[in-house]
Homo-oligomer: A and B are copies of this chain.
């Protein structure tokens, strides 16, 4: 049950609609969790029923009405309790790692293609996160911002996202190089 806490954590930034959250949790800036829109709507409904978030209808013209949610005091207390509880260790779970684990017995060309694609995606995310970090800290340096800024939570998680994707990219390019070199070595015989 960590999705509910991820939603609560996202909502301490301000009021958001399910649709806005869905954007944030999807492809874009899912730097600390990922979820499908359907999950979010369902979770928001549950959270509201339990009084951890409060929603209010906002009429719009030219587009459908929306419901904005904010965290209640009970929601904050729930987050507090969640933070105090010990976190389960995070594990990597990546299709690509499974494929590389099997690298010695499967077609290398297909694998290299996958790795190349992934390296590109990682690079794109690095750029995205970099822009987000600059936006968050404004004209301050990182040190300055982390010392005196308010709302450093999103910044810190984003830093982790950047580091993860850099690692991702570097490992992909390294692995590609290794696989390519071995392929050429085999071809020479």
Contact = CB atoms under 8 A, between A and B. Distances in A.
A163 B157 contact: no
A152 B103 contact: yes
Contacts of A156: 100-101, 103, 175, 178
Interface in A56-86: 76, 79-80, 82-84, 86
Nearest to A87: B95
A102 B83 CA distance: 9
Interface string A1-20: 01001101110100000000
B12 A105 contact: yes
Secondary structure class of chain A's binding surface, majority of residues: helix
Contact of A82 (B9, B79, B99): B99
Contacts of A185: 147-148
Contacts of A131: none
Contact of A99 (B83, B111, B146): B83
Contacts of A175: 156
Contacts of A187: none
Work out how many copies of this chain go into the complex: 2
A37 interface: no
26 contacts: A2-B93, A8-B102, A33-B93, A33-B97, A80-B106, A80-B107, A83-B114, A87-B94, A87-B114, A87-B118, A89-B121, A90-B92, A90-B93, A93-B93, A97-B160, A100-B153, A100-B156, A100-B160, A104-B151, A146-B182, A147-B178, A152-B178, A156-B178, A159-B171, A159-B174, A163-B170
Interface of A: 2, 5-6, 8-10, 12, 30-34, 76, 79-80, 82-84, 86-107, 110-111, 114, 117-118, 121, 146-148, 150-154, 156-157, 159-161, 163-164, 167-168, 170-171, 174-175, 178, 181-182, 185
